[in-house]
Amino acid sequence: MVRNAIAKLEREHGKENMALTTYTVPDFPSPDMEAFRKGIAEVTRQLKQSIERDQVRAGIKPEVVYIVEIHEERYYRTGEIVPHIHVAFQSRKSRRHPYAISKERNTEIWNRAVSNVLGRRVEMPSGARIEQVKKSLENYLGMYMSKGVKMAHHAIDNGKRQFLPKRWWGASLSLRQWVKEHTKMLSDNAKELIKEKYREFLEDIKNSPFSWLHAHTIKSTKPGDEDRDIPVAIIGKVRREWMSAFECRELTDAPMSWEW
């Protein structure tokens, strides 16, 4: 959902008109940090709402995508779970138009959202950053998502599940609807092939049917088979030339070779 939504925004508006914002908090006292963790859903809701309102004022369609991750450096340094937020959105109509959100405005949006959740005013001059990413935002946030999965597993293994966010991403309704409308259903045979071959695809992604691929796995609990990884979810982006093959009812009807 996240990568497809960002790809749509980049394709429609151009990378030069997109912005990436990053939000973090300082080393709050324990009660404030606990309140921040518990209120992270409300913080992201207010962030999204404020950015969308500023987009409307700038004549831009209000569409936002965000992800939540664990601040890696602080986690390994202190053992503390501190949510870290990245938001992607169209920041201007074109090169000739001003930005919808300035650096100062972005900091104020962050200060206000966190202050509302903590119940007191806080100032975080270094807590918010807004930038234009020269490379693909889709790949950039995809990197954070992959890292976030590993961090979450590490935290769970260390008994910190209760401190993790309940929701790791969000997007404007129009983007979610667009992705759902353009989602293709795979045939049962295609699903089985991906399940059986995903390791080979990951090892040689350039020659696979995918432009990117990620597998969520768990360890087998079967006695004598504890080292085996079992896939519980496989996500990726199918290359355009492979879409007709993946949509076939029977693999024998596929127009391309399925020999791997």
Closest CA to 74 of 21, 123, 25, 36: 25
- Paired strand residues for 230: 218
* Mean pLDDT to the nearest integer, 67-87: 88
Is the alpha carbon torsion for 229, 3, 144, 203 positive or negative?
Answer: positive
- Nearest-angstrom CA–CA distance, 151 and 73: 11
Burial state string for 214-226 with b = 16 or more CB within 10 A and e = fewer than 16: bbeeeeeeeeeee
Above 60 in pLDDT, residue 93? yes
- Paired strand residues for 229: 219
pTM of this structure: 0.78
Above 50 in pLDDT, residue 248? yes
229 phi and psi angles, rounded to 5 deg? -85, 130
Above 50 in pLDDT, residue 180? yes
Confidence tier at 147 by pLDDT (50, 70, 90): low
Strand intervals (E) in 52-123: 64-70, 83-90
Share of the chain above pLDDT 70, in %: 90
Q: Which pLDDT score is estimated for 255? A: 47
* Mean pLDDT to the nearest integer, 231-243: 78
Q: Average model confidence (pLDDT) for the chain?
A: 84
- Nearest-angstrom CA–CA distance, 57 and 50: 11
Q: Which pLDDT score is estimated for 145? A: 67
Sequence-separated contacts (24+) of 228-232 with Cβ below 8 Å: 231/195, 231/198
Task: Name the residue type at position 119.
Answer: G
pLDDT digits (tens, 9 = 90+) for 103-141: 999 999 999 999 999 999 999 999 999 998 777 777 777
Q: Which pLDDT score is estimated for 21? A: 94
Q: Which pLDDT score is estimated for 4? A: 84
pLDDT digits (tens, 9 = 90+) for 50-75: 999 999 999 999 999 999 988 888 88
